[in-house]
């Protein structure tokens, strides 16, 4: 075999080997790409499942909070009114019986309000600002502390799931402030800066050390809930100087 033929065969076999390697590379890239697609689909399905589970948990918690609120109202408010009606009707004085009629009207009004609360459709019909005002009104009615709202109404347009999550996170933040902070005043401020809307929940209570492990789990849960609607949860607190929670959500 001549030298020229040897070189030709070498080039031929080299080309075949190179083509084989390229084929293997292409096949490997296709397989890898499909694996990544499968992994991405699995991740998306997992995220969707977690998102739906979070929203379901939030809705269940709102229902439980609503039922607890109704129980308190029945015991503390309506129960007291019914007791007054009973005492007034047992009296022989006409003016006391007239008072009973007024109490009956109050009971009817309270029962109607509670019946609306049982239906979670109020979440769709009530604006976030109105919900916060109602919550702060209840806090002030207890005499526990003063409460105020400042709003530019930038959260008026919300999807139902966004409103559900924000309502539950705000409820939890207010509950934490009342249970642990012992504040004289709670302020909620709603504003926007460019494409970001922010809800700030501030109290002038005891504050706490945010580096402590015991303070992290509940905050982590609230942060995860904000993530499900594309938002952010931020918390700053100083011992003796109060706590500030910021909830951010893009338009």
- Positions in the chain short of pLDDT 70: 1-5, 8-9, 46-49, 51-53, 55-56, 58-60, 62-70, 72-73, 75-77, 113-124, 213-217
Tell me how crowded residue 184 is: count the other CB atoms within 10 A of its CB.
Answer: 12
For residue 153, tell me if it sits in a domain.
yes
For residue 195, tell me if it sits in a domain.
yes
Tell me how crowded residue 153 is: count the other CB atoms within 10 A of its CB.
Answer: 12
For residue 129, tell me if it sits in a domain.
yes
Kindly report the CATH number assigned to the domain that includes residue 149: 3.30.565.10
Instruction: Tell me the pLDDT tens digit for each residue of 29-81.
Output: 888 888 888 877 777 776 666 766 676 676 667 666 666 666 766 766 677 77
Total domains, the chain? 1
Give residue 126's pLDDT.
80
Q: Confirm if 173 and 245 have CB atoms less than 8 A apart.
A: yes
For residue 244, tell me if it sits in a domain.
yes
pTM of the model: 0.59
Strands 185-193, 232-238: pairing is unpaired
Give residue 189's pLDDT.
97
For residue 164, tell me if it sits in a domain.
yes
For residue 208, tell me if it sits in a domain.
yes
Give residue 245's pLDDT.
96
| Spatial distance between the Cα atoms of 19 and 130, rounded to a whole number of angstroms | 70
For residue 167, tell me if it sits in a domain.
yes
Tokens at residue 120, please? 């979670």
The residues facing 151 across adjacent strands are 190
The SS3 call for residue 138 is helix
Domain membership of residue 125 as a residue range: 121-251
Give residue 5's pLDDT.
67
Give residue 65's pLDDT.
66
């Amino acid at each position: 075999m001549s030298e020229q033929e040897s070189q030709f065969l070498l080039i031929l076999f080299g080309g075949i080997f190179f083509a084989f390697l390229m084929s293997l590379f292409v096949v490997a890239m296709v397989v890898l790409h499909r694996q990544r697609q499968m992994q991405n689909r699995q991740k998306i399905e997992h995220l969707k499942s977690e998102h739906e589970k979070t929203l379901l948990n939030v809705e269940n918690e709102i229902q439980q909070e609503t039922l607890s609120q109704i129980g308190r109202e029945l015991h503390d408010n309506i129960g007291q009114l019914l007791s007054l009606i009973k005492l007034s009707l047992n009296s022989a004085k006409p003016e006391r019986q007239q008072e009973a009629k007024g109490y009956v009207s109050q009971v009817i009004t309270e029962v109607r309000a509670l019946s609306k609360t049982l239906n979670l459709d109020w979440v769709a019909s009530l604006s976030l600002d109105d919900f916060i005002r109602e919550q702060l009104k209840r806090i002030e009615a207890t005499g526990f502390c003063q409460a105020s709202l400042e709003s530019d109404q930038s959260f008026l347009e919300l999807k139902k799931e966004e409103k559900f999550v924000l309502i539950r996170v705000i409820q939890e933040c207010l509950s934490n402030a009342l249970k642990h902070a012992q504040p004289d005043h709670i302020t909620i401020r709603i504003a926007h800066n460019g494409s970001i809307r922010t809800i700030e929940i501030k109290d002038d209570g005891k504050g706490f050390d945010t580096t402590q492990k015991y303070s992290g789990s509940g905050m982590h849960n609230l942060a995860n809930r904000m993530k499900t609607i594309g938002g952010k949860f931020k918390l700053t607190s100083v011992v003796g100087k109060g706590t500030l929670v910021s909830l951010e959500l893009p338009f």
